[in-house]
Amino acid sequence: MVRTRFAPSPTGYLHIGGARTALFSWAYARKHGGKFILRIEDTDLERSTESSVQAILDAMRWLGLDWDEGPFFQMQRLGRYKEVAEKLIAQGKAYRCWASKEDLDAMRERQRERGEKPRYDGRWRPERAKAAGLVPPADRAPVVRFRNPDEGDIVFHDLVKGSITVANAELDDLVLLRADGVPTYNFGVVVDDLDMNITHVIRGDDHVNNTPRQVNIFQALGAELPKFAHVPMILGADGERLSKRHGAVSVMQYEEDGYLPEALVNYLARLGWSHGDEEMFTVEQFLEWFDLAHISRSAAQFNPEKLRWLNHQYLRQRPDADLAKLVAPRIERAGGKLAGGPEPLRVVALLKERSETLAALAGEAMMFYAEPGAARSAVTAEVRPALAEVAAAFSALGDWRAEAIMSAIQAVIDKHKLKLPKLAMPLRMIVFGRTQTPNLGPVLALAGKKRVLERLQEHLAA
């Protein structure tokens, strides 16, 4: 059975790159009827926080990326890492090292002076320590280091990048367990992937350089390698690594900004993967089409404008009743009073073609649910008599529909020899508190006769 995993570190929020990795891992498991495991790599004790864990879980749920097992936490598995490290020590494949930070700094400095690559020199390998007469200091806890093979190559096949070969001579003896018993990244992931029977490791290609070390640890444990697939980095439009200045905020910021989860999932799916020229597709279609063979080897480019366009397409397709439920709380949070305005469903139907996000839709809808504020500066002496006649004409209307409203306005315009904008702008300001709205007839009809007349009369009486 296919078993994939997503293993974020809870040192911040879930960002676009991590969400895309989670999506690909989830999709591969779902497509093949397998299991998707969520693991929290919380060994960075200084930076890991409960709030970050919760933010990651919230983002996964919002995106619809459900997990079958977990979340598992590395800090709850310290005994297991110690057990595996002791097994490697007993087999001569790992050893304890008492080198201090000062020892290591001095070692690297001498190597740099000789023009060599700074690396651990293996001085606490048992045979070398014995030959050099090194004695373990009583006042210092050791780390556990992996005894990396001195010769040969590490060869593994990456399902995205193809065959990768690294010489063992390039690698030093990495630390497996720190002095406090906490595993390093490369050791923790191998033990976890083994214990959780992970068959496919799908992750960002910033981890490619870690993979040869992990392959050696897998082999030292006599384990079968999982299949690796390293997905391309995501860059900003300027070709630099994606960061906040490119709009790469946390996943839940997109929710706050009014993006729909299905739009973000669709967009993430197209970052580094494609199915022909398909731009828009459902999650069901994505799961049917998804494969690792069509993941690009080259970096993907994040385009906020494309994401907004895609979100607008999904927003337009959503039933008005759904959108009304999503927009109503946003209106109330902004201070709008739903009880005093038209039915949100009708407002959404009128405005959604103009709005790229739920936040923009709620902002537009506020014209129906908030007080318009002062509009005196928008009304000139030339227009004031015409506005009074519009109010009288509106009061006499028995048919409060867009066509009848516009006919009444047109009659006043013709009588006073005005152009429509001369009257339309102050009307919008008085009733809605803004100079731009959709077509005047439909928005006035939706605002309701009582509300429109009250605001007009209140203004004219001032």
Residues that are catalytic: 244
176 CB neighbour count, 10 Å cutoff: 26
- Rounded Cα distance between 49 and 292, Å, is 33
Nearest-CA neighbor of 316 among 286, 284, 283, 361? Answer: 361
C-alpha triplet 364, 367, 373: angle, nearest 5°: 130
- Rounded Cα distance between 413 and 386, Å, is 8
- Rounded Cα distance between 80 and 187, Å, is 11
Query: What is the maximum alpha-carbon separation in the chain?
Result: 109
Q: At what angle do helices 440-447 and 402-416 cross, to 10 degrees?
A: 120
Range 118-124 contact pairs with CB under 8 angstroms and sequence separation of 24 or more: 119/172, 120/145, 120/172, 120/173, 120/174, 121/172, 122/172, 122/173, 123/99, 124/95, 124/96, 124/97, 124/98, 124/99
Distances in whole angstroms, Cα of residue 246 to Cα of each of 21, 60, 170, 183, 236:
19, 22, 36, 34, 6
Q: How far is CA 194 from the centre of its chain?
A: 28
Nearest-CA neighbor of 93 among 163, 176, 204, 161? Answer: 176
44 CB neighbour count, 10 Å cutoff: 13
Which secondary structure element, helix H or strand E, spans residue 361, and what is its range?
A: helix 358-365
- Rounded Cα distance between 84 and 182, Å, is 13
- Helix segments in 378-419, DSSP class H: 384-396, 402-416
Which secondary structure element, helix H or strand E, spans residue 6, and what is its range?
A: strand 3-6
Pairing of strands 3-6, 175-177: unpaired
